[in-house]
Amino acid sequence: MFGGLALFGIAPSTRLRPSPFYFSTVDEGVKSFTTYNHMLMPTSYGNAEEEYWRLIHGVAMWDVAVERQIQITGPDAARLTQVLCPRRMDKCKVGQGKYVALCNHNGTLINDPIVLKMDEQRFWLSIADSNILFWARAIAHERKFNVSVVEADVSPLAVQGPKSDDVVAEIFGDWVRDLRYFWFRETEIEGIPVTVARSGWSKQGGFELYLQDGTKGAQLWDLVKEAGKRWDIGPGNPNPTERVESGLLSWGGDTDDQTNPFEVGLEPYVDLDVDDDVIGVPALRRIKAEGPKRHLLGVMLDGEEQVDPSFHWLTVFKEGLPVGHMTNVTWSYRLERTIGFGLMQRTETEAGDRVTVQAYGDLFDAKLVELPFI
């Protein structure tokens, strides 16, 4: 209902950096993009439902080159990484990644990268859609750290879905089956340097192949496509429905400039017992002691009406009073309901509450539920 969002062409510009997989995705018939880190990310190949079920039952390949790698190297690389991350990074081994709630000095979430420890003196911050290159450089300078901070020539290609182990093992060998979550190995395939990690923005299992030579995108794309044929691989994208069903956060979509990690379910990834010089930690200790103002729940609309995704957060009411916002809207093919996240006032709401959601001038009856939905 309400009609789809209008689609417009995209004017070429050197501000919009192409992904190494761009021409491959065009050949696959990409139909729409979103912007992310000053790049374009494919969001559809024309059949959202088919792309969803392929992720749930099969295997899909996604151009996620927009997850840029901020590379920190040098004698103080470990110190800078720790100062940026409110999490015990000394526990992170070479070859391991950690999900991090990157905060500013007020404890506000400014990104949620996966941090990969490539070496004792080399780290990658695999970032969401905000400029951490400037942030990391500024902090390094102010603290007089001996480091170099660059955006590396690294472009992830995700392989996601229950058949992804078979596809990635077919390419790289059976050792990939033994990779633990967020662990990785640097390797090479047909002269293409790739870091193979077990990770990805879905709960269907899978890998990310971090291409380390931007001139070889088409070569890697073709190789994965060819290996995946037996399992009917197809192109897809970070799936807006599966990620909501699974409770995965989208920084900048589900967060605003007041959001702290405790409000959006990231407390398990925060360590408050790190040194006081870790950015945001003194503020996070205060927020924790006072209790965060909001919490993240699921919102499930009654009935089988499909409500379009929105550019704006939707206001949620309980007994006629505004108590929070629905931060995303999607049709769940498995639940056969319109669902989304609710960033709600913590003392006013709990799972089980009946609420109404204002969307496109209408009010929809809904209930609050615990995350994840599935």
Binding segment toward ligand THG, per CB under 6 A, in 46-54, 102-110, 193-201, 321-329: 193-201
Angstrom distances, CA of residue 274 to CA of 82, 147, 214, 241, 285:
9, 21, 37, 36, 11
User: Rule CB under 6 A: which of 308-367 touch ligand THG?
Assistant: none
Nearer to ligand THG, 76 or 112 (CB): 112
Nearer to ligand THG, 76 or 263 (CB): 263
Cβ at position 174, least distance to ligand THG in Å: 23
Cβ at position 199, least distance to ligand THG in Å: 6
Nearer to ligand THG, 51 or 67 (CB): 67
User: Rule CB under 6 A: which of 203-232 touch ligand THG?
Assistant: 208
| 245 forms part of the interface with ligand THG (CB under 6 A) | no
Nearer to ligand THG, 265 or 280 (CB): 265
Binding segment toward ligand THG, per CB under 6 A, in 3-11, 130-138, 198-206, 300-308: 198-206
Give the 3-state secondary structure of the chain: CCCCCCCCCCCCCCCCECCCCHHHHHHCCCCEEEEECCEEEEEECCCHHHHHHHHHHCCEEEECCCCCEEEEECCCHHHHHHHHCCCCHHHCCCCEEEECCEECCCCCEEECCEEEEEECCEEEEECCCCCHHHHHHHHHHHCCCCCEEEECCCEEEEEECCCHHHHHHHHHCHHHHHCCCCEEEEEEECCEEEEEECCCCCCCCEEEEEECCHHHHHHHHHHHHHHHHHHCCEEECCCCCHHHHCCCCCCCCCCCCCCCHHHHCCHHHCCCCCCCCCCCHHHHHHHHHHCCCEEEEEEEECCCCCCCCCCCCEEEEECCEEEEEECCCEEECCCCEEEEEEEEECCCCCCCCEEEEEECCEEEEEEEECCCCC
Backbone angles phi, psi at 243, to 5 degrees: -70, -30
Nearer to ligand THG, 58 or 200 (CB): 200
Extract the tokens encoding 301: 């609309």
Nearer to ligand THG, 342 or 357 (CB): 342
Nearer to ligand THG, 248 or 339 (CB): 248
Nearer to ligand THG, 204 or 332 (CB): 204
Residues in contact with 250: Cβ distance below 8 Å, sequence separation at least 6, in sequence order: 128, 243, 328
Candidates 56, 70, 102, 127; binder of ligand THG (CB under 6 A) is 127
| 44 forms part of the interface with ligand THG (CB under 6 A) | no
Return the residue matching tokens 């007020």.
106
Nearer to ligand THG, 91 or 144 (CB): 91
Nearer to ligand THG, 205 or 282 (CB): 205
Name the H helices within 278-346: 281-290
Q: How far is CA 103 from the centre of its chain?
A: 16
| 201 forms part of the interface with ligand THG (CB under 6 A) | yes
What's the length of the chain? 374
Candidates 20, 156, 235, 340; binder of ligand THG (CB under 6 A) is 156
Cβ at position 167, least distance to ligand THG in Å: 18
Cβ at position 68, least distance to ligand THG in Å: 9
Candidates 128, 168, 278, 299; binder of ligand THG (CB under 6 A) is 128
Cβ at position 129, least distance to ligand THG in Å: 8
User: Rule CB under 6 A: which of 67-126 touch ligand THG?
Assistant: 67, 99, 112-114, 126
The count of residues interacting with ligand THG (CB under 6 A) is 17
Candidates 39, 40, 248, 368; binder of ligand THG (CB under 6 A) is 248
State the residues that interact with ligand THG by CB under 6 A. 64, 67, 99, 112-114, 126-128, 156, 182, 199-201, 208, 248-249
